[in-house]
């Protein structure tokens, strides 16, 4: 009978206060609609990008943040980093379409409490939210496998790209050749090649197409 809602008496007291972060109104509407009839979860706010999410959290503290990854202005990865820094205990559940390993690992290392793919059912989403609210971790089927596959060597290698490398990668992913990138950035082709080498080594990707794919998944282009 305390005022403070603790995980164990959640179902009989206040619902879980959820902040919804996704740039697609349709997706937000959908999730909101699903939770409207649900007494365990209450959507107390929506945000269209990471920046709005941070603003909202600073005003009304939600219990859980449900976060899309690819968004304009500030993407889910950055937003999660900030959130983790500002509110270390606030659970962030990632809602994403992508199931690539590098992607997920990066987010988990950043501090996400869970990761669900957008092809989950509503019911599974509810379970995931409840789980992270109670301090646990939740990962969709398939996601967890990937995490534990290459965890050992992956945890220390995945290095962040330097700003310049990111620029080169962006151009590359748009379909430019080394020569074109060199012209655009006004540097030598050899330098572009060097950057490309370093990128490939850091990401452990070995084809131009693979790099393009990675860049797009990261939201670096288009």
Task: Name the site residues for a copy of itself (rule: CB under 8 A).
Answer: 23-31, 33-34, 36, 95, 97-100, 118-122, 125, 172-177, 205-213, 216-217, 221-222
Report how many residues bind DNA under the rule CB under 7 A: 24
Q: Does 5 engage in binding with DNA (CB under 7 A)?
A: no
* Pair 191, 168: CB distance under 8 Å: no
Nearest to 98 by CA among 217, 199, 1, 15: 217
The two tokens of residue 50 are 């990471």
Smallest gap, in angstroms, from Cβ of residue 163 to a copy of itself? Answer: 20
* Tokens 């690992």 belong to residue: 105
Q: Which residues pair with 116 in a beta bridge?
A: 95
Q: Does 106 engage in binding with DNA (CB under 7 A)?
A: no
Containing 161, the helix (H) or strand (E) segment is none
Among 208, 213, 216, 221, binds DNA (CB under 7 A): 208
Complex with DNA: residue 122 or 197, whichever CB lies closer: 197
For residue 39, the number of C-alpha atoms closer than 13 Å in the C-beta half-sphere is: 5
Smallest gap, in angstroms, from Cβ of residue 217 to a copy of itself? Answer: 7
Smallest gap, in angstroms, from Cβ of residue 177 to DNA? Answer: 3
The two tokens of residue 62 are 């939600």
Return d(Cα 165, Cα 203) in angstroms, integer. Answer: 12
Q: Which of the choices a copy of itself, DNA, none does residue 187 contact, using the CB cut-off of 5 to 8 A by kind?
A: DNA
**Interface with DNA (CB under 7 A):** 162-165, 177-179, 185, 187-191, 193-197, 200-201, 206-208, 211
């Amino acid at each position: 009978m305390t005022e403070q809602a603790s995980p164990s008496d959640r179902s009989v007291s206040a619902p879980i206060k959820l902040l919804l972060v996704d740039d697609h109104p349709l997706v937000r509407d959908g999730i909101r609609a699903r939770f409207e009839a649900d007494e365990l979860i209450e959507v107390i706010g929506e945000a269209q990008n990471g920046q709005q999410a941070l603003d909202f959290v600073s005003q009304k503290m939600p219990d859980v943040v449900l976060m899309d990854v690819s968004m304009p202005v500030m993407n889910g990865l950055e937003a999660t980093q900030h959130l983790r820094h500002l509110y270390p205990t606030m659970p962030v559940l990632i809602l994403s379409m992508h199931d690539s390993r590098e992607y997920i690992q990066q987010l988990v290392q950043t501090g996400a409490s869970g990761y669900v793919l957008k092809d989950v059912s509503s019911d599974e989403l509810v379970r995931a939210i409840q789980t992270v609210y109670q301090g646990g971790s939740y990962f969709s089927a398939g996601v967890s496998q990937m995490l534990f596959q290459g965890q050992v060597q992956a945890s220390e290698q995945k290095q962040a790209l330097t700003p310049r490398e990111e620029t080169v990668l962006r151009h590359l992913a748009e379909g430019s050749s080394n020569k074109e990138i060199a012209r655009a950035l006004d540097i030598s082709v050899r330098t572009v090649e060097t950057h490309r080498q370093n990128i490939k080594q850091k990401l452990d990707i070995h084809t131009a197409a693979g790099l393009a794919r990675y860049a797009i998944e990261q939201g670096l282009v288009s």
